Amino acid sequence: MPHIAIIGSGPAGYYTAEAAQKQWGDDVRVDVFDQLPVPYGLIRTGVAPDHQSIKGVSRRYEKTALTENVRFVGNVTVGKDVSVAELQQLYDAVVLATGAPNDKMLGLPGEDLANVYGSASFVGWYNGHPEFARLDPDLSGKHAVVIGMGNVALDVARILAKTETEFSGSDIVGHALQKLINSGIEKITILGRRGPHQIMMTPKELGELGNLERASPRVDRSDLPDEAEDALLEPGLRKSVTQLRSFAAIPEDMHAEKKIEIEFDFFASPVAMEGSGKVESVRVERTEVKAGRAVRTGESYSIPADVVVACIGYRTSPITGVPFDDRAGRFANDEGRILTGLYCVGWARRGPSGTIGTNRPDGFGLIEKIAEDIDAGLLGPAKRKGRSGFDELVKERGLDVVTFQDWKKIEEAEAAAAREGSPREKFIDIEAMISAAN
């Protein structure tokens, strides 16, 4: 019976656990580790709080989590409480499903000014991730600049723009809700270093910007390529560009009815954050897109910015002893294989791309590879101890492991503390989570 350790309880982790059950039925034991006392990774702390239908996928992970042969091992940090090498001694296969929790950096002067954030920390703040919940961004200024034209940039712009009513039914954490609805923001500039035909935003998510109570999206018609050229785009992108065209057609009097303007600034590559102590503006250089690449033209200008959120992608956290592809910001791997018995899946394997659902075929594909390696005798004849071996280690080290049943108590307490209409008020401290579990 294979013993599998999966590190990370987000979508990639739970789809891989589900795939292991499909592959071996009852004849497998899977331990799903998480450094937090709560499961689901990005579903809890990445997916936008007003996208509850996407978060609903956690019910599927719960089904897997509640089976006898899969268990949740929360509040254990691999690399600190236990090493990857130790887990490899105990489990036949160790799968890193650790995602990509760190911000890719812009590498620009002034990036360290106050009120300049990466999306990992800003999204973590409004989603109550214990590491970022106390970020306390200053939202009293009028101008916000969001860098990047992907779905995370859309999430951030939308969350900055919503009213209290629009947050009803969401699980945005209370401290962030209060700050956001009372913010002074009147203009949100979304900066793209390339043009409308190169955006990474998907149509449904982009469309949401067109239906906001107090905000209106503004696209400059002259930035849009000739409409005939849209025919060459793949269908999803074509729909997104059609959405941009509809924003460009919004009449001035309709913009005037809304307090907040969300401006798309294309062909604008950030070159520096400016300000004394705290960010005041973003210096950008105009670009032209040549053969798909942004080429700077030498023309530059400054955009007022009281707060900046860079939504330009993420990197995986390296783990000592595990080969890492520094350029790509993920583990060095060949279709999920890192070293004998050591694998990766999801964003830790392929980088931060795709939707939640992309992780399903990823997890299933990886389990096929592990099964091939087991059949080929590559994982060794050694009878590994699996979870009983890990339990010995827990006793030896006095680790305070959180089980899935403990998590259910945390979940209950969060539901009980929820605002009216909200599914939960998340605990933002690890200690509070653990005391609710106990």
Question: SS3 for 82?
Answer: strand
Q: Does 67 bind ligand NAP (CB under 6 A)?
A: no
End-to-end CA distance of the chain: 33
Query: In this complex, which beta carbon is closest to ligand NAP, that of residue 149 or of residue 308?
Result: 149
Residue of the chain from 37, 150, 341, 363 that contacts ligand NAP (CB under 6 A): 150
Here's the x/- map for ligand NAP, 251-270, by CB under 6 A: it reads as -------------------x
Cα of 410 vs its chain's centroid, Å: 22
Q: Tokens representing 265?
A: 């600034």
What is d(CA 119, CA 222) in angstroms, rounded to the nearest whole number?
Answer: 29
- Which residues within the stretch 288-307 sit at the binding site for ligand NAP (CB under 6 A)? 294
Which residue number has the CB closest to ligand NAP? Answer: 150
Residue of the chain from 18, 103, 155, 414 that contacts ligand NAP (CB under 6 A): 155
Sign of the four-CA dihedral 285, 288, 292, 295: negative
Query: In this complex, which beta carbon is closest to ligand NAP, that of residue 67 or of residue 353?
Result: 353
Q: Does 353 bind ligand NAP (CB under 6 A)?
A: yes
Q: Tokens representing 302?
A: 């400054």
Give least dist CB 28 to ligand NAP, A: 30
Candidate segments 8-16, 55-63, 131-139, 190-198, binder of ligand NAP by CB under 6 A: 190-198
Give least dist CB 99 to ligand NAP, A: 11
Residue of the chain from 193, 337, 360, 384 that contacts ligand NAP (CB under 6 A): 193
What is d(CA 231, CA 170) in angstroms, rounded to the nearest whole number?
Answer: 37
- Which residues within the stretch 106-145 sit at the binding site for ligand NAP (CB under 6 A)? 106
Q: Does 198 bind ligand NAP (CB under 6 A)?
A: yes
What is d(CA 45, CA 247) in angstroms, rounded to the nearest whole number?
Answer: 30
Residue of the chain from 18, 50, 92, 205 that contacts ligand NAP (CB under 6 A): 205
Backbone angles phi, psi at 85, to 5 degrees: -60, -40
What is d(CA 332, CA 357) in angstroms, rounded to the nearest whole number?
Answer: 23
| 3-state class percentages of the chain: helix first, strand second, coil last, to nearest 5 | 35, 20, 40
**Binding residues for ligand NAP (CB under 6 A):** 106, 147-153, 155, 192-194, 198, 200, 202, 205, 270, 294, 311-313, 352-355
